[in-house]
Amino acid sequence: MQPWSVSAQARLLVVAPHPDDETLGCGLLIQQVLASGGAVQLVLLTDGDNNPWPQRYLERRVRIDAASRQRWGRRRRNEVLQAMARLGVPAPALCPLGWQDMEVTSRLRADVPGTVAALRDVILAFRPSLVCCPVLGDSHPDHGAAHVLCRLAVAGASPAPELFAYPVHGEADELAYPIRMDATGDQQRRKLLALAEHQTQMKLSGARMRRLALSPERYVRVDAAAGSPRLPWRPPMALRPWLRLLVVTGEGARDWRWTEAPVARDPDGGYRLDLPAAASGLRFVKLHLDWPSPWIFDHWGWHIL
């Protein structure tokens, strides 16, 4: 792994889909940027209000209505402010966008230019030297979509900041995430104290979250290179009538049924997307089902073309 160090000129923008992602993904990096004399800003995409099982447990309720969700979201936003204070980040550094939890993908699908502009405006105002966002392969749908959003927003910034991606859901092995943050004992202690402020999440998932927080903080540097036009999936025949293929570029989004999508079959049985190149140069594709399900995580997720 490659150790990472920061300078006094560092301007770090952390993009967190939900409260607690800022601490789990970047709690050490945030502290080290501040200790070096740099600046930190946190963009919170959602308040994590669509979080029913911890809410049912803590509030001893079964039905979660709109008012209950709003109250839960306010509680979680307050938790992120307390966690930021533990990490040394002042409250005005929080930039909450107030989007709906579990609907970042839906926002992209409905309005790519407007959704990207909301983050790009923050980038242009803060002028970060480094942006940290979730990895594309994170299985939480808001996290994968947040990566797509950041890639498109950074592509429109001049000068473009460096882009690091951090894992939250899934394994973070050394080969996939070669950049690590070395921590002092005090920095690790502060990260754990910040995590403890997220009481709504620690009640049911404390052991898993503490394990993540005690693991080395790792990142992968994201470059501008495009991926492969070959799709990584070979969907089962039984699901194809219900599967959809979402393609997002800087210009907009298209969402096809798999049976109507512009895919071509390769001789080896794989698939590739048969579309002209996007003007922005960045194309992201997601294979998904729109079925309602208690299982929130992506099965197939995103791929960059």
Position 247 scores a pLDDT of 96
Are residues 156 and 198 both part of a single domain? yes
Provide the domain limits for residue 101.
Answer: 2-221
DSSP β-ladder status, 283-289 and 130-134: unpaired
Q: How many helices (H) and strands (E) does the chain have?
A: 8, 15
Residues 6+ apart with CB under 8 A from 300: 233, 235, 286, 287, 288
- Kindly tell me if the per-residue pLDDT of 227 is higher than 80: no
What pTM was estimated for this model as a whole?
Answer: 0.94
Q: What is the pLDDT of residues 53-90, one digit of tens each?
A: 999 999 999 999 999 999 999 999 999 999 999 999 99
CA-CA distance, 187 to 36, in Å (whole number)? Answer: 13
Q: Which of 221, 241, 266 is the last residue of a domain?
A: 221
| Contact of 300 with 233, CB cutoff 8 Å | yes
Are residues 262 and 183 both part of a single domain? no
What's the total number of domains in the chain?
A: 2
- Backbone angles phi and psi of 139, in degrees to 5: -80, -10
Q: What is the pLDDT of residues 282-304, one digit of tens each?
A: 899 999 997 777 788 999 999 99
Q: Which residue type occupies 65?
A: D
Q: What is the pLDDT of residues 85-117, one digit of tens each?
A: 999 999 999 999 999 999 999 999 999 999 999
Q: Which of 198, 221, 244 is the last residue of a domain?
A: 221
CA-CA distance, 254 to 110, in Å (whole number)? Answer: 9
Q: What is the pLDDT of residues 229-243, one digit of tens each?
A: 899 999 999 999 999
